Amino acid sequence: MMPPVHRLLIGRTVAALATALIPTTLILAVLRTGTPTDLGIVLACELVPMLMLLPVAGVAADRFRAGRVVLAADLVRAAAQFGIGAELLAGSGRIPLLAGLAAVTGAAIAFGMPAVRTLVAGCVAEPDRLRTNARLNVAQGLAQITGPAAAGGLMLAIGPGWSSMLTGLLFMGSAATLGSLQPRRRATSEAGPTEVRGAKGSRKAMDGTAAAGAADAAESADVAGTAGTAEPADTADNGADTAKRRHWRADLRDGWAEARRHPWFLTNVAGHGVWHLAAGFLLTLGPAIAVDHLGGETAWVVIAQLGAVGMVAGAFAAARLPIRRPAVAVAVGASAYAIPLVAFAVHAPVAVVTAAYFAAMFGLGVLSPLWETMMQNRIPAEALGRVGSFDALISFAARPVGLAVAAPVAAVIGTSAPLLIAAALVAAANLAILLLPDALTAPIGTAEEYPSTDTAEATEATEAIDEPHAADANDAAEADGGLGSVTPPQAASR
């Protein structure tokens, strides 16, 4: 039987290729029957649900088995592509229907994204995660390079309808490989993620039934002495029922509280949001600068393609470079995006701009698998989906803002000033991580080094229960006339 990691890599590669086929096929199909305005509506209908549902999807990734969530997400995407293909093959291409199916696709993407990260963390041991994430990023980068060309070829060879049908089959293949993976069991109940403490450290009240069950279990343990450490079934059931009754908003608040516990995470997310915003400016103003000052359209095509190659090369090198301080590498990799921003702004020679863009994308290629591995190793497993969804939300929301405002801003102050300002912000926001106390010394980390607040609360609760019993045991020893240093059996069993 194929090893789980190999199935994971194959499934993600197939899904990445299918995802890369969608934009070109959808754009050309809509423009055949509609207007540029119709195209904007269809693309927005995919993006908006994805952004709105990402936090909820993070809750789902923590609450249910990651494999099942990925399976459902890929099957929904397959169904949406089959629907688009059927509509296009029928020759109608109705924009409202295409927009609705695009919205379904966006929702499925939202639910699949955090679940895949959780699935990787559950299926791959910590020492192997960086190498696995690097391979996944290489596959995704290659798909992004070849996807548009493949979609264009399919459009010419078999038409947009059959191309969408083929994309649906690819998503079904991804579902078949990924959805059946069984990650390692986590300590938290599948019925819901573990509650974490709020930002101010206040402890939330437990459900009355669960608290009573826990108290009964503690009393039973006192009577039983050394009867064992297995949790009583009724207590586990009470905890599961409590988790099921929790509202998703409570889980979402707990996830945000967990994110706030990690300054390195929030600082990086802010920096990544800034460079995604700057990327929107560059992808809007860069082609115009290339056409006017760097030799025409061909110059932009060469710059963009070599940048894509640089990202793949960076992802390939990430697991092979002797990186001892990944937080520093992530900060430097993201801040390197300031280099092409400056190069475009000063209208540097095309060779300089090309080299600058290649270097920046190489840095982002190194960043991506390192960042994924840092999150998977440092964020507790029971909160990984929710915490990771905040990272994706900021990144995916920032770039469209840059794309939307770049042209109006450039119309007022020119093309150079916005890019120079963006370069300064990218460098400052991403190098700020180096000001954190552990940035220069912390290794890639493990979950044990960054325990969740629920683990801390459990320890505190256990100590709170044990302290009175320990005091009772000492009193009993004194009452017996001080029998030396013999420890009572019940105290020893705890």
Question: So where are the chain's domains?
Answer: 1-183, 258-445, 452-478
Q: How many residues does the chain have?
A: 494
Q: Check residue 344 and give its pLDDT.
A: 95
Q: What is the mean pLDDT of residues 251-277?
A: 91
The model's confidence at residue 428, banded by pLDDT at 50, 70 and 90, is: very high
Over the stretch 159-210, which tens digit does the pLDDT of each residue have?
889 999 999 999 999 888 875 566 665 444 333 444 443 333 333 333 433 3
**CATH 1.20.1250.20: does it fit domain 1-183?**
yes
pLDDT above 90: residue 103: yes
Q: Check residue 200 and give its pLDDT.
A: 38
Q: What is the mean pLDDT of residues 140-146?
A: 89
Q: What is the mean pLDDT of residues 353-380?
A: 94
pLDDT above 70: residue 221: no
Higher pLDDT, 109 or 198: 109
The per-residue pLDDT of the chain, averaged, comes to: 79
Q: Check residue 245 and give its pLDDT.
A: 53
Q: How far apart are CA 292 and CA 410, in angstroms?
A: 15
Q: How far apart are CA 449 and CA 338, in angstroms?
A: 33
Select the CATH number that applies to the domain covering 258-445 from these four: 1.10.8.60, 1.20.1250.20, 2.70.180.20, 3.30.70.20: 1.20.1250.20
Q: Check residue 38 and give its pLDDT.
A: 87
The model's confidence at residue 251, banded by pLDDT at 50, 70 and 90, is: confident
Please state the three-class secondary structure of the chain as a single string: CCCHHHHHHHHHHHHHHHHHHHHHHHHHHHHHHCCHHHHHHHHHHHHHHHHHHHHHHHHHHHHCCHHHHHHHHHHHHHHHHHHHHHHHHCCCCCHHHHHHHHHHHHHHHHHHHHHHHHHHHHHCCHHHHHHHHHHHHHHHHHHHHHHHHHHHHHHHHHHHHHHHHHHHHHHHHHHHHHCCCCCCCCCCCCCCCCCCCCCCCCCCCCCHHHHHHHHHHHHHHHHHCCCCCCCCHHHHHHHHHHHHHCCHHHHHHHHHHHHHCCHHHHHHHHHHHHHHHHHHHHHHHHHHHHHHHCCCHHHHHHHHHHHHHHHHHHHHHHCCCCCCCHHHHHHHHHHCCHHHHHHHHCCCCHHHHHHHHHHHHHHHHHHHHHHHHHHHHHCCHHHHHHHHHHHHHHHHHHHHHHHHHHHHHHHHHCCHHHHHHHHHHHHHHHHHHHHCCCCCCCCCCCHHHCCCHHHHHHHHHHHHHHHHHHHHHHHHHHHCCCCCCCCCHHHHHC
pLDDT above 80: residue 369: yes
What's this model's pTM, rounded to 2 decimal places? 0.75
